[in-house]
Amino acid sequence: LPIHRQNFPRPLSKLNSLAVYGPGLIGGSILRACGKCFPDLELRVWGRSREHLEEVSRALHGRCFTSTDAVAVATGAEGVIFCTPVDFMEELAQKIAHAAGSARWFTDAGSVKGSLVLRLKKILGHRYLGAHPMAGSEKTGFANATESLFQNSVCILTPTAETADETQREVADFWRSLGCRITESDPFVHDQMVAQVSHLPHLAAAALVQAVGRDAFSVAGPGFRDSTRIAMGDAEMWAGILLENREAVLDALLNLETILQSATGALRSNDRDCILELLASAAEKRSQIF
């Protein structure tokens, strides 16, 4: 999808520099989109390895400041976005809070929000607004980043009572400028929702793959391919997400197990009505979602 410039409204005309922490799939896609569409925006990138940062710099035709020094990247940035694994964000925020004293806003792209938002707002205050862009792929890393990743994806913002109005407006505009459709949620409600539509399906896809004997590989068709695609996601990243959100994931998982147990009972007793009801109501419900 080409990025339509009309999707990129005022906010970034006001933003002179953006610091991106973690140029993986998400951070890299933000950089590519900004590099392409906002020629006057200064891009500052922090990553853990020099080689990785050199790849980023080449892709952006040198149009960025890159460093493995988190403080150096924060210095002078007006907007800051954390795209690292969620369990690393608090440490980063603490490290750069002082150097980013003049930043107007901070956001992040973490898949889990509840406790993370509490921890980051304690450090960054009213200038922080959590976000979760529902975009991505089983492919990870900067090599797979694309400028169009966020086009028409949903971005969930998770404001709290302390979030400044100005922060809320500017962060929403930033994500909107990448092509996102904005929605808002309480951070903990967010976690329950994504446990159901994202985290549980990841766990279930992995379990489905593990439930298949290697002999059966040869007959796997497009249904299996699609329903287990997300099982190829980055294991380290997803283990972090599942554990960070384990209360909500456990709730969703118990719900799934109850449904599967009921199906097991229905198959055992040859209860056609019960199986049909499960399949028919799921088909009807699923067809309303997209």
Hey, which residues between 175 and 194 contact its own copies (CB under 8 A)?
A: 183, 185, 189-190, 192-194
Residue 196 sits in the site that holds its own copies (CB under 8 A): yes
CB of 276 to its own copies, least distance (A): 4
Contacts with its own copies in 107-166 (CB under 8 A)?
134-137, 153-154, 156
CB of 218 to its own copies, least distance (A): 6
CB of 199 to its own copies, least distance (A): 10
Of 45 and 205, CB closest to its own copies: 205
The helix or strand, by DSSP H or E, that contains position 67, with its residue range, turns out to be strand 65-67
Contacts with its own copies in 204-243 (CB under 8 A)?
204-213, 215-236, 238-239, 242-243
Do residues 16 and 105 make contact, with C-beta atoms less than 8 angstroms apart? Answer: no
Do residues 85 and 26 make contact, with C-beta atoms less than 8 angstroms apart? Answer: no
Interface with its own copies (CB under 8 A), residue from 13, 16, 68, 264: 264
Using left for φ > 0, alpha for ψ between -120 and 50, and beta otherwise, residue 267 falls in: alpha
- Number of residues forming the site for its own copies (CB under 8 A): 89
Choices 26-34, 56-64, 65-73, 276-284 (CB under 8 A): range interacting with its own copies: 276-284
Tokens at 81, concatenated:
């976005």
Comparing CA positions, the residue from 2, 23, 241 lying closest to residue 140 is: 23
Of 62 and 290, CB closest to its own copies: 290
* Alpha carbon separation from 103 to 77, 90, 107, 124, 209 (Å, rounded): 6, 17, 11, 10, 45
Please state, in angstroms and rounded to a whole number, the distance separating the CA atoms of residues 72 and 96.
Answer: 9
Contacts with its own copies in 54-83 (CB under 8 A)?
none
Of 42 and 186, CB closest to its own copies: 186
Contacts with its own copies in 14-43 (CB under 8 A)?
none
Do residues 25 and 54 make contact, with C-beta atoms less than 8 angstroms apart? Answer: no
Of 14 and 276, CB closest to its own copies: 276
| Torsion (CA) 119, 122, 127, 132 in degrees, nearest 10 | 10
CB of 10 to its own copies, least distance (A): 26
Please state, in angstroms and rounded to a whole number, the distance separating the CA atoms of residues 93 and 120.
Answer: 7
Residue 1 sits in the site that holds its own copies (CB under 8 A): no
CB of 141 to its own copies, least distance (A): 14
